[in-house]
Structure 1
Amino acid sequence: MKFNAEEWLERARKDFESAWLDSEIILSERPLSERYPLRGYEEGKAHPVFDTIQKLREAYLRLGFSEVINPLIVDEVHVRKQFSKEALAVLDRCYYLAGLPRPNVGISEERIRKIEKITEKNFDPDELRKILHIYKKGKIDGDDLSAEIARVLGVEDQIALKVIDEVFPEFKTLMPEPTTLTLRSHMTTGWFITLSKLSGKYPLPVKLFSIDRCFRREQSEDPTRLYTYFSASCVIMAEDVSVDDGKAVAEALLRHFGFEKFRFRKDDKRSKYYIPGTQTEVFAYHPHLENNRKYADGWIEIATFGIYSPTALAEYDIEYPVMNLGLGVERLAMVLHDYSDVREMVYGFKHIELSDLDIARKIKLKDIPLTPKGIEIASRIIQTFEENATAQGPCEFTAYRGKLFEKDVEIFVFERENAKLCGPAYANEIVVHDGNIYGIPKNEKFRNLFDEGVSTGIRYVDSFAYCAVRRIEEMVAEGRESGEVRSRVVENLSDINLKLEEGLMNYLISRGKSVDVRGPLFLGVGFRLL
């Protein structure tokens, strides 16, 4: 029977599917799958903002505050009630919401003829008028209109969309119409609404917190301002609440983040919804900011609190005093994660840093044996190299003698020149340290890199052996009677049968990291049919 190389290779692949799950499997009896969790199960990276939010939530809950969600969309009337004469200045910073109107759509004889031409069938105009009428009344949602028109016309949705596009231009010329609804620009706007529903109905004190988005119509985004930001805000409603409560909450909350000392200063802004003289800025000291030029001596303004004005509370029939404290999550996150530009922190990807372990997991074998027998042969090749590494050439040592693709083969390691069987770098190991990838020997000179970094457990002799067996399997399958695979000086990862996952090299270059795996390998593996 004529030997078919493709058929043999296909059979080998199928035979191997159940045995070979991933190229991270055993290398020199030190599998990555045992040293570290399997790829796909490692922890992801939290965004600095949401990491800070989670810690704020934990801190508030420990302080006995209950979490609520305040209204995000509020009518401008609430801003006017809370800010009185200053309302216009506040509303100037608000985003107003708008919506598309529902048009009055008529069906003339000309339009009926156009519809019949598009659909190539007759229809009941009164039924279509009915659908358009109830759409105008808001009884049909916009995303259901095409389906309802298709049902009345007895056509597919795509035909109905064509009818709307070509026959009813009213839908194309719709312009948004503004409403009096705004996106919340201050968490306070929501607190008044929430507290009005609780006042007199719940026992005092009422302690609540909310961490959610606010929206501010800034002239532009810059290093310190965004169009939308997170406010971490709390309130205490009680009969005898005071400024001292604000100080106590601020200290307890910020100690959760490592701040150690606090200063309080009257805020000159004097918002109308606070009692005059109660609006207070909170400055906190953090040790790691001492040497940071952005902050003077480690002190930074981090929060503001005050007591709500009885006049503003009366607008909502709230009869008890309320202390409100708030801080910008992004500002706190910038301090904790050492950012100077809020845009870089929120919209950038600096926080998605790969650890040495992440990088180590992304170093893969390029070629692996096709068969379970190939795995066994690779292990024997590695063992033979290790046992005879210093043997002086010319020399040859048998690593395997037996069947491969139902053929009797002998596989051996060799050195043809007057040199040692293994080159000096044969036992070099791939290690990741501080984001750099090194191929280094495991000796005292490089001990700190192994101790502080992450070793992949892959040595040059390991990855080369797997590549050599793969080449021998292919040569045997092709019908060759002998052949050899050699390695010489290693310049890059591909020279030792390794590769990086897609995008990793660009990631390393963008962060000024390097891949240095240079070294003299000089290994040889050959085979002959018996």
Structure 2
Amino acid sequence: MRFDPEEIKKKASEDFDSTWNAGKEFVKKTGLNEQYPHLSLNYGKPHPIYETISRLRQAYLRMGFEEMMNPLIVDEREVHKQFGHEALAVLDRCYYLAGLPRPNVGISDECISDIKCILGDVSDEDIEVIRKILHSYKKGDVEGDDLIPEISSAINVSDALVVEMIDQVFPEFKELVPQSTKRTLRSHMTSGWFISLSSLQERSRPPFNLFSIDRCFRREQEEDAARLMTYYSASCVIMDEDVTVDHGKAVAQSLLSQFGFEKFMFRPDEKRSKYYVPDTQIEVFAYHPQLVGSKTKYSDGWVEIATFGIYSPTALAQYGISCPVMNLGLGVERLAMILYNATDIRSLIYPQIAQYTEWNMSDDELAKMIYVEDVPDTAAGMDIAEAIVATCEENGSTPSPCEFTAWEGKVGEKTVKVSVIEPEENTKLCGPAVFNEVVVFENDILGVPDNKKWKKAMENHSARTGVRFLDSFASKAARDIEEAVANGESEVETRVRIVKVPSEINICLEPLANRYITGKKKKIDIRGPVFTTVRATIE
């Protein structure tokens, strides 16, 4: 079996382009891009582990391997067959499956009295029905999740009352203790390969080129940055009379070259697993140029990424397998950590869990969580808000006292006149902070003017909300006018003086943004002298 790494990499690129273009064409043909416009613009974000699994699957398929699902639940006797005298050490790392025993529940006269107190006026026939169903449950004829509905349906009472009866009358259910079985959760993919190959050879003739990417479980004492109690193994086998260690080297090179690895070193593995032929267990070290100079232990570019070997004839004989088998395996999480430049496996797998991942938001993400709270509901209200803004922009520096008519027209059935005013002397129509814009800068939420001092903050357009104090105030004033018209009022005035907090200028933050700012000890500094008043008369 030969693998050409360059040809496989070329095929990988062609497959990606083909899949991407087919997806875009499907969205276009079905009209989904019209019904759901975001589908034609965005590409969903996959989880790093599942994305790595997807790429590994395609890589194996391009190399001519057939995908297989191996047994996940393995009896301990299989481990003994594979490891011989070392089995106990392996089983120490396995999770054993346990289950709750079925209790032998009797119904005494006292129980009957308690049942009737809970269920009401049930007959002796109903009591006998309950007794028979509990007996069937003990024998396994009724499953645990069917017990409540079976009783409820048979005696025509509610599920809630049956649950209360089980809880109050039969303490045997509360006293159940799990009992271990001899079955384990697979701790390594090899456990499944022996079982699969043994059955497969009875129905087909080698050679077999198979791969499986699935979850394994290992009873670690604790989890840390490099180890978890469950992981994904990307494993393959070649079962062929002529298979050698060279096949393992060729598979490793062809597989990993599709992920950007360029050079390879092969070293004997000192662990020497019992199920491998001595001196055939090989560690694969691969060189990745993106790792060079990185802040990881792989800064020289070299990383241990896989292990392969030839299964021991002694272990294979336990399953009646006489044909040689080469097995290669790698940990998906290890590969994903390299591809995503991660230093802690927990934060890569569970980015949503706070104890594993530091919470970081970009300025533009925060900016999207800032909004104007009160906005007009009607077209007339929106016109009023725009007119207030235009009036202040044109006349904001006019010395006071002064008054400017901003808008006249109909709101509903009422005639409304809107004015921007400043009755006090020796000031201006609008205060100096009226044109301050709400921006996010270095995770601080600020209300700042567009001047040289805040040039850096203004340069990041995606972190600018586009909302000035004037804009949010005008929206509030327009909304107040709409409500005054609806309430039958003849006059309404909206005024803002010195702003100290966002709510005073009609600015609101989503709770998520508030939690983030508080947790990071960043600041919300939206304040300043606005001194603007809008008055409306309603006839």
Indicate whether the TM-score tops 0.5: yes
> Are 1:88 and 2:88 matched, yes or no?
yes
Aligned to 2:124: 123
Secondary structure at the aligned position of 1:458 is classed as: strand
Cα offset for 1:181?
Answer: 0.6
Aligned to 1:20: none
Moved more, 469-478 or 371-380: 469-478
Cα offset for 1:87?
Answer: 0.8
Matches within 5 A, 1:313-462: 313-347=316-350, 348-349=353-354, 350=357, 354-416=361-423, 417-418=425-426, 421-432=429-440, 435-440=443-448, 446=455, 449-451=458-460, 453-462=462-471
Secondary structure at the aligned position of 1:197 is classed as: helix
Cα offset for 1:249?
Answer: 3.3
- 1-structure distance, mates of 2:523, 2:45: 23
Q: 1:309 aligns with which of 302, 309, 312?
A: 312
Moved more, 103-112 or 87-96: 103-112
Cα offset for 1:398?
Answer: 1.8
Cα offset for 1:424?
Answer: 4.8
- 1-structure distance, mates of 2:147, 2:344: 46
- 1-structure distance, mates of 2:458, 2:302: 37
1:497–1:172 Cα change, 3 Å: closer
Cα offset for 1:355?
Answer: 4.6
Number of equivalences: 492
CA contact 2:440–2:457 (8 Å) conserved in 1: no
1:520–1:166 Cα change, 3 Å: closer
Secondary structure at the aligned position of 2:71 is classed as: coil
> Are 1:138 and 2:145 matched, yes or no?
no
Aligned to 1:30: none
CA contact 2:446–2:525 (8 Å) conserved in 1: yes
Secondary structure at the aligned position of 1:503 is classed as: helix
CA contact 2:441–2:457 (8 Å) conserved in 1: no
Cα offset for 1:481?
Answer: 4.2
Q: 1:188 aligns with which of 182, 187, 190?
A: 190
Aligned to 2:278: 276
Same amino acid, percent of matched pairs: 55
Q: 1:231 aligns with which of 230, 233, 236?
A: 233
- Give, as a single letter, the amino acid of the residue that structure 1 aligns with 2:413: E
Cα offset for 1:303?
Answer: 2.3
> Are 1:473 and 2:482 matched, yes or no?
yes
Secondary structure at the aligned position of 1:248 is classed as: helix
Secondary structure at the aligned position of 2:511 is classed as: coil
Cα offset for 1:180?
Answer: 0.9
- 2-structure distance, mates of 1:512, 1:300: 39
Cα offset for 1:186?
Answer: 0.8
- 2-structure distance, mates of 1:43, 1:456: 25
- Give, as a single letter, the amino acid of the residue that structure 1 aligns with 2:382: I
- Give, as a single letter, the amino acid of the residue that structure 1 aligns with 2:121: E
- 2-structure distance, mates of 1:360, 1:42: 20
Cα offset for 1:310?
Answer: 2.5
Secondary structure at the aligned position of 1:234 is classed as: strand
- Give, as a single letter, the amino acid of the residue that structure 2 aligns with 1:399: A
Residues 142-177 of structure 1 deviation map (CA, whole Å, 9 limit, x = unaligned): 222233334555544344444444544433333222
1:157–1:344 Cα change, 3 Å: same
> Are 1:524 and 2:538 matched, yes or no?
no
Cα offset for 1:90?
Answer: 0.4
Secondary structure at the aligned position of 2:300 is classed as: helix
Cα offset for 1:271?
Answer: 0.7
Aligned to 2:102: 102
1:510–1:457 Cα change, 3 Å: same
- 2-structure distance, mates of 1:331, 1:213: 14
Cα offset for 1:425?
Answer: 4.5
- 1-structure distance, mates of 2:203, 2:450: 71
1:469–1:452 Cα change, 3 Å: closer
- Give, as a single letter, the amino acid of the residue that structure 2 aligns with 1:403: K
Aligned to 1:485: 494
Cα offset for 1:384?
Answer: 2.6
1:253–1:409 Cα change, 3 Å: same
Moved more, 460-469 or 253-262: 253-262
- 2-structure distance, mates of 1:167, 1:150: 16
Provide TM-score, normalisation by structure 1: 0.80
Aligned to 2:21: none
Secondary structure at the aligned position of 1:453 is classed as: helix
Aligned to 2:3: none
- 2-structure distance, mates of 1:179, 1:169: 24
CA contact 1:199–1:319 (8 Å) conserved in 2: no
- 1-structure distance, mates of 2:386, 2:537: 19
> Are 1:504 and 2:513 matched, yes or no?
yes
1:107–1:499 Cα change, 3 Å: closer
Secondary structure at the aligned position of 1:50 is classed as: helix
> Are 1:52 and 2:55 matched, yes or no?
no
- 2-structure distance, mates of 1:472, 1:421: 20
Provide TM-score, normalisation by structure 2: 0.79
> Are 1:172 and 2:174 matched, yes or no?
yes
CA RMSD of aligned residues (A): 3.5
Moved more, 175-184 or 108-117: 108-117
- 2-structure distance, mates of 1:57, 1:491: 57
Cα offset for 1:434?
Answer: 5.8
- 1-structure distance, mates of 2:435, 2:115: 78
CA contact 2:421–2:533 (8 Å) conserved in 1: yes
1:457–1:257 Cα change, 3 Å: farther
Aligned to 1:76: 76
1:518–1:297 Cα change, 3 Å: farther
Secondary structure at the aligned position of 1:78 is classed as: helix
Cα offset for 1:356?
Answer: 4.4
